[in-house]
Structure 1
């Protein structure tokens, strides 16, 4: 799961209310979050300082694990929880300038970067910009702003120039698999004309995708899930190419763990995916109309040949997202 994408999507859904809450709570900068004040908030163009900040972020987040910058918020310094609002004038134009600089401030260009305007006062064109920068399979990316010309990485709450051994590793990753966890929904059965509209038996699919440039082999995905959740794991999964363990209790209360290991001969090609787990659930038209789908919360470990594994990663799917995707599936029936 892309942690920065999840944060960005929360801002798409909640906008200024989420930003105000973060400022009030003093949310800290971290591996995926950076706050930046615009150098001259009453000028639409990017200053030299703005270009350098954006260039470092494009390089650092793309070379690391993705991230977002929130422009127009002050973060006084490390260890300080105070957050201050400094809204940007002509904020639409500022976001357009950020879009235009994506391909000019980093080399190679970062694919999938986005900029979202959050208005403090839309009539006055006053507000903030949230910049999303994905982790890149084309890394390493070099900052190209004048005076930089370095490769950056994200360490904690700051960007630093990458060490030589890190660049060796990143260059070496160009021809290795880049696997990640994804989700989808399917409708298995429809019962028409119940008191709450149609009744749907559904599956929440959890799988592994490969966005790298090499074949992924010997993939292992371990999920830890809430056994009393609305979404119940399908324990009857069988495959000639995947070995499934029996579910067993995990350390967290009510959570169980289940492991799926790819057997010899099961591979995931670049740009392809494979489903590993299914979680069963049911809903009605009334549930979908009221957006009553619960959140799906879990944790995972992910391993594979020539892949730097991940452990204890949170995997959360918002109920609203499940509802939206399920509606699209139903429309196709």
Structure 2
């Protein structure tokens, strides 16, 4: 099924002043500074599993807090991932930074080789207590030890092409897109890769798993969103569920089965249902919208973070949390 997005989308109008249900509004022109409102002065509380993500190691409901860290000083980010405790990890040129709950940003927590001048996607491998980080400059995916104080990335996969979107699959393997004119999606286990896609995708970028096990990939070059059905870890069916998305980059699902897409060149945050219906523009004026993540742990689970033109911005969505996927 192909669904073309309309020329203009309806924005969600403000309808409440209650910070617990903050509506989504047009952000206007982005300044590269976090969009903040006063945090709720309350300890973290447990919330129903249907409404929040679950932790990657136990599958139990995640905790949602009230902390909104100062991220205005974060620079150089493209890839983005948030751990179960609320620690934000972001990829940078030649390294990885982090923002731990209650702590200021660490712009260069982990180091990568000098040749890794461009660093894109980043994935959280909970089972092995590491990050996996892709650098198109070196055609390499690096492993970064989460237990180290000042880790140095080691080679996980060489000859990776231009690794862009990275995500962990429900099978515990790494899946990544090779950002090429005739690109593919690959699966990697123990540093060995196999091709997932049976046909090329024009500049595949963001990748995200749906709770039913299907893999969503957006095509930066074609402005489309593709759903891949996997059988035996390989593509068995393909459906283009949306078109006219501009230059789609990062992807993220929420707990209501909706997908969020960063339109890199158009500076928009777009939301639509998993089947491509009900498209909406949630935010405009985002500088080079890239990777997207929902808060968890010490952070409000309804906050959404977007890597934006080398900075990090936060939007307080208010109506839903991220998807419940036990491998993330």
TM-score (ref. length: structure 2)? 0.24
Higher relative contact order (CA 8 A, sep 6+): 2
TM-score (ref. length: structure 1)? 0.24
Instruction: Report which of the two structures shows the higher radius of gyration computed on alpha carbons.
Output: 1
